[in-house]
Structure 1
Amino acid sequence: MPVVQIQQNQQRVNDFLSVALSQITINEPQLHQAMNHGLLLGGKRIRPFLVYAVGEMFGVEKSQLDNAAGAIESIHAYSLIHDDLPAMDDDALRRGQPTCHITFDEATAILAGDSLQTFAFELIGQAPQNAEQRLEMMQCLSKASGYQGMCGGQALDLAATNKQVSLAQLEQIHRLKTGALICAAVELGAIAANASRTHRELLNTFAQNIGLAFQVHDDILDVIGDTETLGKPQGSDEAANKSTYPALLGLESAQDKAKQLIEQAISSLQALPFDSTLLQAFARYIIARNQ
């Protein structure tokens, strides 16, 4: 289980982001504090871990991956700030702490999310890769976080609230809402490594499967977890009348689906001519975690 490596990368990306935020000229202190709150207040840092793990599998140094790792975590943090707003999921708790709009106010939370989104692309623009790679990174991240990815998935998710959706529709929602950024994390590491098209296709299959498995397991934890461990209210999906994998498939079948997705992900890694032990362990960790 790659817990130690995840923790090491957590600390690395946290340190990188803390320094990067501290170097911003502060024009409005409360907004800067809200950005820090949204970006640095805990989190598993799974997406940065994937950037580092994929890049290092190809022999890229961590120092060459910090900007991409920090950028994708900034996008993720902005999305969580906005997801928690009353107009979206209306959550008061995130990572065991009051959400950004509760700690500050709604307007500040909106602006903090907006600022972290643009901060992400600033980090990519400063990445140590060449201009062609930086451009490809920006295209990858913008597509994954916008209409064709995360934002589009969130819109579909909101539209499905209080409605019965099919399994295919639910998968489409989560391949965009959650999976797109996970795929982007893997892709960013591959771009930094100048990986071949064949290798990137195998990694994309891996990423799509772990991205969906991640969401299936999140849905399962919403049923079997507890608020203190999860850091957010247990049962919040059911309370919001959202379609979930346990609701559509039943708990046991949802657990089986998550396992199948992970086996498919590992199979893709095994076709790569590199040591993918860490990524395989991470895939298994996705459905073993309790938060």
Structure 2
Amino acid sequence: MIIMGTKLNEFIKEWTPRINQVLESKIEQDTDQQKLFESMSYSVNAGGKRLRPLLTIATLITFNQAITDSILKATCALELLHSYSLIHDDLPAMDNDGLRRGKPTNHTIYGAGMATLAGDGLQALAFQWVVDNDLTADTRCQLALALAKAAGPRGMASGQADDIEFEGTRLKLHELQKLDRNKTGALISYAVNAGLIMAQVPKDQKKDLLAFANNFGAAFQIYDDILDIVGDEKAIGKPVHQDADKNTYPNLMGLDGAYEALQRTVDQARHALNTAGHELNIDTSLLLDFCSYFVIKDERHNGKTTR
């Protein structure tokens, strides 16, 4: 069960349709192969919470930055790159999953070859959207560099490689944290950093906001690990009980330990935001509301919730 604050609910209702409109209308104009377009669009528009672009927009709003068409396009680029990662993650050579967001995965509809190309196309298009807009040259360069680092061999690709290499082994906690920080956390951290870049926040004022992003990304993966055990396939839109041989928090420290790690990590995210609000004199309540994503039913305590 997820209980979100009123401010966040209103924010999601306002901005999710605007994000979806960009994603539904602009991919085709940059694609000249019909089947490739269909495959790309299928995964991007199959649903999803749009959490990452929403985090970017929330960061911009926190710094009173107007959301122009160029900013929105650059923001939506991250959802293209995220969708590429999901397509490739589901492939037979990776996790070989048949269900994503409650629908058949891309390769089960279009075949592994076309799905691979759809992922390739979305990755390239993400960088195109980051630079093909009216933002300043310096802003576009910063975004492209930050996104490349988040997605590349010291970011998401590194985490995915660790996930494959060490499946069936048991990593130590610091090794699991590195895996998760790259595989999942890197793009979530980029989402907040992209907002800071486009709002032109000085580097010396970013520390606490980036600490929030890093902890939020860590909490997101711990939560995903927990859902593989206690979640419902229909509710979360993908198979559960798939992580028996993987490096996850429940497998490393048990379900109770995973819940405790989630609580601790969310608390750290909140603390970082409270510090940023105090030191920068900004209203961080919207970003704080994102932490309500992790309000989940705790079967250990007779249906009580944990934050």
Moved over 6 A (4+): none
2:53 alignment partner, one of 24, 36, 48: 48
1:255-274, aligned counterparts within 5 Å? 255-272=259-276, 273-274=281-282
Aligned to 2:234: 228
User: Is structure 2 residue 139 aligned with structure 1 residue 133?
Assistant: yes
The structure-2 alpha-carbon separation of the partners of 1:155 and 1:176, relative to structure 1 and needing over 3 Å to count, comes to same
Deviation for aligned residue 1:118: 0.6
The amino acid of 2:151's aligned partner reads S
Q: Distance in 1 between matches of 2:218 and 2:283?
A: 24
* Gaps in structure 2 of 5+ consecutive residues: 299-307
Deviation for aligned residue 1:123: 0.5
The amino acid of 2:49's aligned partner reads K
Q: Distance in 1 between matches of 2:86 and 2:273?
A: 30
2:249 alignment partner, one of 231, 237, 245: 245
1:180-199, aligned counterparts within 5 Å? 180-199=186-205
1:29-178, aligned counterparts within 5 Å? 29-63=34-68, 64-178=70-184
State how many pairs are aligned.
287
Deviation for aligned residue 1:90: 0.6
Deviation for aligned residue 1:8: 3.0
Aligned to 1:212: 218
User: Is structure 2 residue 292 aligned with structure 1 residue 284?
Assistant: yes
Report the more deviating stretch, 244-253 or 47-56. Answer: 244-253
Deviation for aligned residue 1:5: 1.9
Q: Distance in 2 between matches of 1:110 and 1:31?
A: 10
Q: Distance in 2 between matches of 1:127 and 1:58?
A: 21
Report the more deviating stretch, 125-134 or 216-225. Answer: 125-134
Deviation for aligned residue 1:287: 4.4
Deviation for aligned residue 1:68: 2.5
The amino acid of 2:192's aligned partner reads V
CA RMSD, Structure 1 to Structure 2 (Å): 1.5
Deviation for aligned residue 1:215: 0.3
Deviation for aligned residue 1:25: 4.6
Query: 1:102-156: per-residue Cα shift (whole Å, max 9, x none)?
Result: 0111000000000000100110112332100100000000000010100110000
Q: Is the 8 A contact 1:38 1:81 kept in 2?
A: yes
Deviation for aligned residue 1:9: 2.4
Deviation for aligned residue 1:3: 3.2
Deviation for aligned residue 1:34: 0.2
Q: Distance in 1 between matches of 2:71 and 2:111?
A: 34
Q: Distance in 2 between matches of 1:193 and 1:128?
A: 14
Q: Is the 8 A contact 2:103 2:237 kept in 1?
A: yes
Taking structure 1 as the reference length, the TM-score comes to 0.95
The amino acid of 1:49's aligned partner reads L
Aligned to 1:14: 20
Taking structure 2 as the reference length, the TM-score comes to 0.90
Q: Distance in 2 between matches of 1:237 and 1:98?
A: 19
Query: 1:38-69: per-residue Cα shift (whole Å, max 9, x none)?
Result: 11110111100111000111111222531222
Deviation for aligned residue 1:231: 0.6
Deviation for aligned residue 1:266: 1.1
SS at 2:243's partner residue?
A: helix
Q: Distance in 1 between matches of 2:294 and 2:146?
A: 23
The amino acid of 1:30's aligned partner reads K
Deviation for aligned residue 1:289: 8.8
Q: Distance in 2 between matches of 1:118 and 1:74?
A: 9
The amino acid of 2:252's aligned partner reads L
Q: Distance in 1 between matches of 2:204 and 2:248?
A: 34
Q: Distance in 1 between matches of 2:199 and 2:246?
A: 39
